[in-house]
Structure 1
Amino acid sequence: MNDVMKAPGVRAGLAEAGEQRLGWIRSRMRSLAAIRTEFAESRPFDGLTIGVALHSEPKTAVLLETLAAGGAHVVGTGNHGSTQDDIVAALERNGIELFGHRDETLDEHRRNLERTIDRKPDILLDNGADLAAIVADRGLADTIVGGTEETTSGGFRLREEYAGRIPFPVIVINDSPLKAIAENRHAVGQSAVESFMRITNLQVPGRRFAVAGYGWCGRGVAQYLRALGGKVAVVEVDELKAFEAAFDGYRVGSLGELAGWADVVITATGRPGVVTEKVFDLFEDGVVLANIGHFPWEIDVPALRSHAVRSTTVATAIEELELPSGRRVVLLADGRMYNLAGTAPKGNSIESMDLGFTLQARSLERVATGTDSLVAGPQRVPDDIERAVARQTLALLNSAD
């Protein structure tokens, strides 16, 4: 963090601004509000440190406040490019320590992840398996009671790259059907389309979109684009998901087949190397590339920039790259998750995150108080938690009728 950001007057101003924003968010996260009251009495995290790697934005802040109310010492960092400085400053007032700032470099972000582990957390609240990877690589896994993982990308890493190296239970929140439906399909779908329009000021109706990935997030992005009049095609390597996309009425093809057709390509796979230099010369002039997946690895940005003969920042979060052929490629938010790293980031809807973070809070409570009921390694949210959260959410929905 630079010296200006550290100045007491600047920090106080940021904290005030963050607190004003948090007031509105808290008022709409009714499920977490009920849990916060409960946790203040039951104190499931007394004496425990929770290490966090999660987007530092207002809805996340409400979750962290809920954990702190339950007795947790919360310390951690945001994700690269999505930290909101006013929210970090507001949380500092409540004893929650988050490292990092909006404009930090990738190296600074990695150091902040290391700093989080250096605080010797008992429980991990992870996003992309970044903290679990450090714990495994440094031989510290035996010091961890358990944790949660928020994303599909992190679930892949735990089950593939770090298979057999995580001896503690990790509840993968993104395996939850509740989260898949409410947050991944509907909230990411809505957020991806809204953020595309806000960042680019381009219309959706009549524009041709290729959505790479037809998991829950890809389904949602395709659905909401089509609902607003977009012409949508799907790129999917899994035959069954491609079959589903075709029967849902979408054109289905490889990226090579669709590159020359698409006005916009949005990646939503959770996997690296989706848009590579193999297709750069197939794109039409002016194509927009955007990523909604957790890691900025789905679009090979370094290769794209090295392939370009000229790069121009034309607006905040919009970079135009000219290829040797003279055609232009427009990149949003450096290939990062553009609904959180783009202009005036909002992320997913408040209500969807209330549900997702309720699953988080209950899963972390289970890790803290009932590890005997869990197994080592990545696993889905326990069924009784799923059903209790479903009942609670339905009750809240019905109370609004």
Structure 2
Amino acid sequence: MQSKIANPSLAPEGEKSYFWAYRNMPALVKTIDSFGDNKPLARKKIAMCLHVTKETSVLAMGLKKLGANVYLSAANPLTTQDDIAAYLSFQGIAVFAWRGENSDEYFDCIRSILKAKPDIIMDDGGDAHVTFHEEFSNHKVLGGTEETTTGVTRLRALSKAGNLRYPVIAVNNAYTKFLFDNRYGTGQSTFDGLLRATSLLIAGKKVVVAGYGWVGKGIAKRARGLDAHVIVTEVDPLKALEAHMDGFEVMPMSKAAEIGDIFITATGQINVIRGEHLERMKDGAILANAGHFDVEINVKYLEQNSLSKRSVRQFVDEYNLKNGKRLYLIGKGRIVNLVAAEGHPPEVMMMSFSNQLLSVVYISENYSNLKNEVYDVPESIDKKVARNALEAMGINIDEITEEQKRYASEWRV
């Protein structure tokens, strides 16, 4: 299949980005190289619906090295790095992605990778899995993987309804994914995007973090590290209590809306910041979303209740509300770390993508023994990824002794 990308001439720049990521993802490289000359994915067609970034390019090239035929589309219309798309296309991977796709183009690109009749579908957010079930379900798929909390939630709903057509491994649920990618990766990259977009000082500002899951924890921690006054909003009493015990101020969004300077959503839910919140905000408040989909901030309300809208910086739109206040939306309400920056650092993505790669191999070898359900990453894979990451960082740890093993297995002390 012929790729559909923005500019093939960007391939040399994409090659530089690929090798930069490759050099800084030693655990993923070790995982790929551990197969030696074996081709566990020989003749397998892999459809990837992931953010087309330099880190993803290392995963895609790794799958190709293991024998797979790889087809790639973007997991968001605004996150593709066009130089990477060009480089991967030059390397023989069918890429259907460019930065700035509209909604129809975005889903057409997903359809393009599904038309290849893949054996395994890798997804980030669930759009490829859902599109397959709605439009391509007559084709046999061996299994799939899912990268995000949002996607896993959608797939569990699909499974609960009895409509899931193949087994899916929830890569998001691996300890070596959510403890690091969601917390450290999103925590850092969210502020990378926010700072690139605004070039403003964080210290002294009131930063409101909506949601205190692993992503919210990471964002709140980074905001505190930048000397912001951090406020957390939550609907879960346990997470709200945890945020309080972690030293953050906790309050409803209705109250936080009146005092916040910067608002960052990280819930995976719809309309977390609604019209009644937007109307209460201070003049000059900044809005950003760190969730996968652009539904957490009610952008439609901003569009319908503003006297004017204008672009004031590359990734910043100013909305002049009817009440005279101006609000600033980053990246059109889409995922800020990938729209306004480059996404997670490679050192974090090497663990997430090691889980992806090993889960794909696991499905290829074990699909006949799996039911059409959502599975967690096997513990053996999770621990292998952790050990590879430690080794890549030059860290050695102790081994449990035989005496300790016996002690742990006895009920008498």
Counterpart residue number, 2:79:
82
Deviation at 1:198, TM superposition (A): 1.8
2:305–2:321: 8 Å Cα contact kept in structure 1?
yes
Q: Is structure 2 residue 80 aligned with structure 1 residue 113?
A: no
Deviation at 1:37, TM superposition (A): 2.5
Is it true that 1:98 corresponds to 2:95 in the alignment?
A: yes
| 1:161 positional shift | 5.1
CA contact (8 A) 1:268 1:292 kept: yes
Give the distance between the partners of 2:16 and 2:131, measured in 1 at CA: 35
Q: Kindly state the Cα deviation for residue 267 of structure 1 after the two structures are TM-superposed.
A: 0.4
| Equivalence for 1:66 | 62
Matches within 5 A, 1:237-386: 237-342=235-340, 345-386=341-382
Provide the rounded CA distance (Å) in 2 between the counterparts of 1:196 and 1:324: 26
Which residue of the partner structure matches residue 203 of structure 1? 201
- CA deviations on 1:152-176 (whole Å, 9 max, x unpaired) are 0101111125632113111111111
Could you say if the C-alpha distance between residues 5 and 398 of structure 1 is closer, same or farther in structure 2, counting changes exceeding 3 Å?
closer
Kept after mapping to 1: 8 A contact 2:47/2:114: yes
Q: Counterpart of 1:51 in 2: which secondary structure?
A: strand
> Does residue 169 in structure 1 map to residue 184 in structure 2?
no
CA–CA distance in structure 1, aligned partners of residues 88 and 36 of structure 2: 17
Displacement of 1:376 after TM fit? 2.1
Against the structure 1 CA distance between its residues 231 and 141, is the aligned structure 2 distance closer, same or farther, given a 3 Å change threshold? farther
Structure 2 residue aligned with 1:389: 385
Which residue identity lines up with residue 73 of structure 1 in the other structure? N
Q: Unmatched 5+ residue regions in structure 1?
A: none
2:207 and 2:231 in contact (8 A); partners too: yes
TM-score by length of 2: 0.91
Structure 1 residue runs of 4 or more that deviate by more than 3 Å after TM superposition: 372-375
Change (3 A) 1:373 1:254: farther
How high is the TM-score relative to the length of structure 1?
0.94
Moved more, 271-280 or 287-296: 271-280
Q: Compare 216-225 and 304-313 and name the one that shifted more.
A: 304-313
Unaligned segments of structure 2, at least 5 residues: 398-413
**Pairing partner for 2:14 from 5, 18, 22:** 18
Q: Which amino acid aligns with 2:33?
A: T
What count of residue pairs does the alignment treat as equivalent?
Answer: 392
Query: Contact 1:141 / 1:168 at 8 angstroms: preserved in 2?
Result: no
Distance 1:113 1:65, change over 3 A: same
- How far residue 395 of structure 1 moved from its aligned partner, in angstroms, is 1.8
Give the deviation of 1:141 after TM superposition: 6.4
Give a deviation string over 1:185-204, Cα, whole Å, max 9, x none: 11111111222122101111
Please report how far the alpha carbon of residue 68 of structure 1 lies from its aligned counterpart in structure 2 after TM superposition.
Answer: 0.7
The 3 A distance-change label for structure 1 pair 335 and 381 is same
Instruction: Give the Cα–Cα distance (whole angstroms) in 2 for the partners of residues 5 and 374 of structure 1.
Output: 36
Q: Does 1:122 align with 2:114?
A: no
Task: Tell me, yes or no, if structure 1 residue 52 matches structure 2 residue 48.
Answer: yes
2:406 is matched with none
Larger Rg: 2
Partner SS, residue 280 of structure 2: coil
Q: What CA distance in whole angstroms lies between the structure 2 residues aligned with 1:141 and 1:221?
A: 42
Contact persistence 2:351–2:389 (CA under 8 A):
yes
CA distance in 2 between partners of 1:352 and 1:292 (Å): 17
Aligned match of 1:192: 190
In the alignment, what sits opposite 2:180? Answer: 182
Corresponding residue SS for 1:398:
coil
Work out the CA distance in 1 between the residues paired with 2:30 and 2:90: 22
Listed one character per residue, the Cα deviations across residues 47-86 of structure 1 (whole Å, up to 9, x for unaligned) are: 1111111000100010000001111111121121101111
Percent of aligned positions that are identical: 34
Q: CA deviation at 1:228?
A: 1.3
- How many angstroms apart in 2 are the aligned matches of 1:146 and 1:60? 20
Q: Deviations over 1:83-118 (max 9, x none)?
A: 111100000111111102112111110111112211
Q: For the residues of structure 2 that align with 1:271 and 1:107, how far apart are their CA atoms?
A: 23
Counterpart-to-counterpart distance in 1, 2:244 and 2:138: 44
Matches of 1:373 and 1:395 in 2, distance apart?
32
Aligned equivalents of 1:148, 1:382: Cα separation in 2? 13
Shift of 1:5: 7.0
Moved more, 137-146 or 223-232: 137-146
Q: Secondary structure at the match of 2:264?
A: strand
SS at match of 1:309: strand
Whether the 8 Å contact between 1:265 and 1:288 is mirrored in structure 2 is yes
Letter in 2 for 1:77: S
